[in-house]
Amino acid sequence: MPDHPQMQGRQRAISAIERLLRHDRLIVTVAVILLVAVAGAYTVLGVGMSMSAIDMASMVNSMTKPMVMTAHWQPVNWVLLFLMWWIMMVAMMTPSAVPLLMLFTAVKRQGQDGHRAAGYTGFLLLGYLLAWAFFSAVATTLHWGLQEVGVLSAPMMVIKSQTIAGGLMVLVGIYQFTVIKNACLSRCRAPAQFIAQHHSPGNKGALWLGIHHGVYCLGCCWALMALLFVGGVMNLYWIAGLTLYVLLEKGLPQGKYIARLAGGGLIVAGVYLVVLGSPIM
């Protein structure tokens, strides 16, 4: 038959796609790595900002390089600042969601529509990042307001008052001991139980599952992210340190004790800043 070679070609193409889909865990892993890498590069280079995170790191102990930011905020400034916050959250928070993504992919792979496992996981990740987009919008508005009233330094994006910075550290430290923090952390640390309790079919179900988990993650980590105002929103040392801490708090068996230890340390450091006036930078 004249179309026989075409049919064989289509069958080979379908077989190749099926073989690729069997490696959905690899697809998810590569996609997450690429996403974090791109988001990290965006953050480090400070796209749309007056200074990069590399510049910020080099200025931690020196303010010799003058930096100028727009005096009057425009809508485009808010959008750029929002993108900076959201993409920074993508880079910082996606690694801690990897256990959930991998487990969800494995669960979906065993279902009737297992060939769509990677796609469902993509919707899950999108929902998770949408929750952090909400946080980023709030952080952007707060950032804008603090800078407008003169609390936040424009060049370094850091709280200028040691009293306010210390008070914020104390509040974050106290939050580490609250029931809300403990409940949210417990759910973040148990992805299997979370999926079993809240799983729904289809793309919409995966999206809402991601949003749901993202809300718990917000409850767990929003206060920690507020510490960026203390060390510098674009300070690479603080970004890397907080990212590592979140991974340890969520991933290690001693995560709850790590949270309380960090809370105690923050309270002590905050009081030290307020009472003794120790310099931040």
In the chain, % of residues over pLDDT 90: 41
Contact status, residue 44 vs residue 92, Cβ threshold 8 Å: no
pLDDT at 6: 60
For the record, the structure tokens of 246 come out as 């979140």
∠219-251-178 over CA atoms, to 5°?
35
Which are the contacts of 123, defined by CB distance < 8 A and separation ≥ 6?
203, 204, 206, 207, 210
Residue predicted with more confidence, 147 or 127: 127
* Span 15-52, pLDDT tens digits: 544 454 456 566 667 777 777 777 767 666 765 555 55
Length of the chain: 281
pTM for this predicted structure: 0.80
Residue predicted with more confidence, 178 or 235: 178
- pLDDT(161) > 60: yes
pLDDT at 66: 37
Mean pLDDT of 115-132: 90
Q: Of the segments 57-66, 110-119, 129-138, 268-277, which one has the largest average pLDDT value?
A: 129-138
pLDDT at 60: 45
Q: What is the C-alpha to C-alpha distance for residues 236 and 75, in angstroms, rounded to an integer?
A: 26
Residue predicted with more confidence, 175 or 231: 175
pLDDT at 22: 54
Q: Please write down the HEC assignment for all residues of the chain.
A: CCCHHHHHHHHHHHHHHHHHHCCHHHHHHHHHHHHHHHHHHHHHHCCCCCCCHHHHHHCCCCCCCCCCCCCCCCHHHHHHHHHHHHHHHHHHHCHHHHHHHHHHHHHHHCCCCHHHHHHHHHHHHHHHHHHHHHHHHHHHHHHHHHHHCCCEECCCCEECCHHHHHHHHHHHHHHCCCHHHHHHHHHHCCHHHHHHHHCCCHHHHHHHHHHHHHHHHHHHHHHHHHCHHHHCCCCHHHHHHHHHHHHHHHHCCCHHHHHHHHHHHHHHHHHHHHHHCCCCC
- pLDDT(256) > 50: yes
pLDDT at 10: 58
What's the start-to-end Cα distance of the chain, in Å? 78
Mean pLDDT of 99-106: 88
- pLDDT(67) > 60: no
CB environment 65-89: b (16+ within 10 A), e (fewer): eebeeeeeeeeeeeebbbbbbbbbb
- As a whole number, the mean pLDDT across the chain is 81
> Dihedral sign, CA of 208, 210, 214, 216?
positive
Q: What is the C-alpha to C-alpha distance for residues 275 and 28, in angstroms, rounded to an integer?
A: 49
